Amino acid sequence: VLESKKDIGCPVSNCPLEAAIIVPLVLRKKPVGSLKFYYASRSKLTESHITFAEGLARLLSTQLELSEIDKQAELAHQAELKALQAQINPHFLFNTLNTIAMFCRTKPEKARKLLIQFADFFRKSLERESDLVTLGEELDYVNSYLVFEEARFGDRLKITENIDPLSLSVRLPA
């Protein structure tokens, strides 16, 4: 609570400000800003104005905390999704390399084509700039993946697609 022009430190020569209430905004028990109420008269420094300023600062600090919690939850969700994607990649990598190795002896030309497709597949996955892609982009990626699964399982794998073309522009996690 500031009760004089001198306490306020107003740089204007004929400053009309006579009083102020300054309350910190707090996030994780640390001040991150302040809420300031300036008055042209000291008579405005009433207990109710001070209580109001303190209550409003607590409310805004709570909103900052809630916003931070929402942000942390979103970051945790993104980290969980990336961790899940990272778990899939090593298993896929191991199986694909084993499949290509198997074809090196029996069908070297097929192994060569699979190796080229494999390099292209990984290049695409590393070039993805966003966590969200369209369904069409993800289906292209899945179809590239299925080339390796078809090579691995042969006639035992049957794939049927029934996709509404209007859904291809829907965005989803990669």
Digit-coded pLDDT (tens) for 33-50:
999 999 999 998 999 999
Report angle CA 150, 156, 159 to the nearest 5 degrees: 60
Averaged pLDDT of the chain: 88
Mean per-residue pLDDT, 72-99: 79
pLDDT band at residue 121 using 50, 70 and 90 as cut-offs: confident
Q: Is the pLDDT of residue 108 over 80?
A: yes
Q: Is the pLDDT of residue 68 over 70?
A: yes
Report angle CA 9, 10, 16 to the nearest 5 degrees: 130
Mean per-residue pLDDT, 64-82: 85
Q: Is the pLDDT of residue 86 over 70?
A: no
pLDDT for residue 40 = 92
Which of the 8 DSSP states describes residue 155?
G
The tens digit of pLDDT for each residue in 109-119 reads 999 999 999 98
pLDDT band at residue 59 using 50, 70 and 90 as cut-offs: very high
Specify the pTM: 0.49
Quote the CA–CA distance of 111 and 14 in Å, as a whole number.
Answer: 85
Mean per-residue pLDDT, 9-29: 91
* Dihedrals phi, psi of 25, to nearest 5 degrees: -100, 130
pLDDT for residue 88 = 63
